[in-house]
Structure 1
Amino acid sequence: MALPGIYYCFPEGKHKALTLSYDDGRRADERLVGMFNRYGIRGTFHLNSGLLGQEDRIGAEEVAALYRGHEVSVHTVTHPTMARCPMEQIVAEILDDRKNLERLLKVPVRGMSYPNGSYSKEIVDLLPHLGIEYARTVRTHGGFGLPEDWLRWEATCHHKDRLIERAESFVSLHKKQYLYLMYVWGHSYEFDLDNNWELMERFCELTGGRDDIWYATNIEIVDYMKACQWLKFSASREFVHNPGAASVWLSVDGRVVEVPGGRQVELG
């Protein structure tokens, strides 16, 4: 008997995912979140809890309502260049930001982006001990692959870097033997400074509301890919057990199969 060929899929059997990531919690996030919501796009917003309510930043009392349906994540309390800081300061900046944001949101906060893109190997090694499961850098790779290291997560591009060209390439991808991820990052206030909100509007029009794209936050992508790795396959690949709580989707000889949480599914 021929053994089945199996590929991991994104939810509902999709092979493309889109996520966006915006830093600092500036007032322009209101307009950006509204745009995302209109087009069904979802993202992650990295906030400095010690700066909330200052100058043009979102107030602490606004956070839960504004970012509902998206992810709020760590950006440290005061936005230091961490590679220049003592480890005691780094621990406090990250852990206190988690605590402050969790008080506002009433959910665990498990990801971050590096303020000023600054980190070191010692900082990366520290993050799992502080409950951080991913961290986005300011480096980009221009492609649509998944990261090899969640704690050194490089995006596809900043929104100033050939955004529409890359979006057109992304939506045209069709080879289902790959999993594709487009990840865009930036700061919402840049659209005000550059007077180019129409750029993001055009991007959302191109990529939003499509049946073949999974719209996810950063942490949802991390959680889902970990759930894929937790699956327990029989040696023959004829059946699989999902020990987690969430469903995982597979392509089995081209047939999409859902593996519900806590269930064993026949694949042969």
Structure 2
Amino acid sequence: MPRVVVTFPEGKFKVLTMSYDDGKEADRRLVEIFNQHGIKGTFHINGGLFDTPGRLGKEEIASLYDGHEVSAHTLTHPTIARSPKEQLIEEFIEDRKQLENIVQYTVRGLSYPNGSFSTNIKDMLPHLGFEYARTVHSTGTFAMPDDLFEWNPTCHHKRDVMKLAKDFTELHKSQYLYMMYVWGHSYEFDNDQNWNLIEDFCEYIGNREDIWYATNIEIVDYLRAFRNLRFSASSDFVYNPSFQSVWLSVDGAIVEVKGGSHVNLNI
């Protein structure tokens, strides 16, 4: 029986994802920095707060975040653990409707506003079309998420982000998958007058051949595609019913299993 483990695209074993909340005007500069260094971000936006002071207007959302992910953050940013479920449904669904009307793709992700959530809210989200939700609980680790509806990031950008970036780039044990997940608010760079922090971070960690740069939903989709693979009982062949490729390490050799393909793993 061959030894088979999943890798990230092209055999990589490290992924970086960035997550920023509220859709503030400072996102313009942040997106530009990400684009310069080949880094992808997920931007969690309140669809009911467009064109209010400090926030972006509807007309620039689709073009600004092109190549990144627009995700939900509730319609009006309430503390949702204190809200009745009737209001929660409107907050989630109307936010999705507003954002989807702008970007013209299905919004499937969420970050919890004010970091507020509960078990009941987590249980509700799949029924409202969501596939993941990010917390504000930073772990300081590079672990892959165990619960996508309680997805804990590695760190806020204020918390040792450069030290963690250096630790991340030095990881070399390919028998594991590692994820560095940074979150925050772009307006904090204005408030703290430290845009150099994110510029230095992106310059250091961006455009590396051994890192997969992905949005939150791209990670979710890739993990799901792996789980959907249909292996033979002896793991000597596999069928991929998904549309996207999945990469496997088979006895140390990297094998791409393209969408819709049936691949022999006895190599």
Q: Output aligned runs, 1:1-268, within 5 Å.
A: 3-268=1-266
SS of aligned partner of 1:52: coil
Report the Cα distance in structure 1 between the residues aligned to 2:3 and 2:13, rounded to whole angstroms. 16
Distance 1:182 1:66 in 2: 24
Q: How big is each residue's C-alpha offset from its partner over 1:50-83, in whole Å with a ceiling of 9 and x where there is no partner? A: 1111101010111001000000000001000001
Identity %: 60
TM norm structure 1? 0.99
Q: 2:116 & 2:74 partners in 1: Cα distance?
A: 12
Structure 2 residue matching 1:138: 3-state secondary structure: coil
SS in structure 2 of the partner of residue 27 of structure 1: coil
Letter of the structure 2 residue corresponding to residue 136 of structure 1: R
Structure 1 Cα separation of the partners of residues 213 and 109 of structure 2? 18
Structure 1 residues 99-144: Cα deviation after superposition (integer angstroms, max 9, x where no partner): 0100001100000000000011110000000000000001011110
The code of the aligned residue for 1:73 comes to: S
Partner amino acid for 1:241? Y
Counterpart code for 1:153:
W
Structure 1 stretches of 4+ with a deviation exceeding 3 A read none
Deviations 1:202-225 (A, max 9, x none): 110111000000000000000000
How many Å apart are 1:236 and its aligned residue?
1.0
For the aligned residues, what is the CA RMSD?
Answer: 0.5
**Structure 1, unaligned runs of 5 or more:** none
* Structure 2: unaligned runs, 5 residues or longer: none
Amino acid at match of 2:205: T
Alpha-carbon distance in structure 2 between the residues aligned to 1:98 and 1:132: 9
